[in-house]
Amino acid sequence: MEAKAVAKYMRISPRKMKFVCDMVRGKQVDEALAILKFHPGKGAKILEKVVKSAAANAENNFDMDRDKLYVSNAYANQGPTLKRWRPRAKGSAYKILKRSSHVGAVVKERE
């Protein structure tokens, strides 16, 4: 049995989020939350909320034991990109891409 949680349209690029996701994949939930709590990046705060939500879903909706839960999958998929323009020399424009991501976490119970 597995429980999951997803945070959509987060204003951080998926490339930056994937480093944070790689840190917690396969770890116990409490250990993953400790890692994320003390990591300085913006992505760690976002993923911490998602992992907490997935763990709560597992406890409340599927009656899983919190002590046996581990993060089986953590991912950051690409969301919509905001396109902005910046003036450059000789009347030209420069495109700025503000990327967003859909961040998700799946927790399972160890046998």
**CA 68 to each of CA 26, 32, 49, 59, 65: distance values in angstroms, whole numbers, following the listed order:** 12, 13, 19, 11, 6
Give the model's confidence band at 76: pLDDT under 50 very low, under 70 low, under 90 confident, else very high. Answer: very high
- Cα torsion for 18, 98, 6, 66, to the nearest 10°? 50
96: pLDDT strictly greater than 90: yes
Q: Cβ contacts of residue 71 below 8 Å, gap of 6+?
A: 24, 25, 26, 27, 28, 29, 32, 51, 54, 105, 106, 107
56: pLDDT strictly greater than 90: yes
Contact predicate 61/103, CB 8 Å: no
**pLDDT score for 111:** 82
49: pLDDT strictly greater than 90: yes
pTM: 0.91
Per-residue pLDDT, averaged over 74-86, amounts to 97
Contact predicate 106/73, CB 8 Å: yes
Give the model's confidence band at 38: pLDDT under 50 very low, under 70 low, under 90 confident, else very high. Answer: very high
**pLDDT score for 45:** 97
Give the model's confidence band at 32: pLDDT under 50 very low, under 70 low, under 90 confident, else very high. Answer: very high
Which domains are present in the chain? Answer: 2-109 (3.90.470.10)
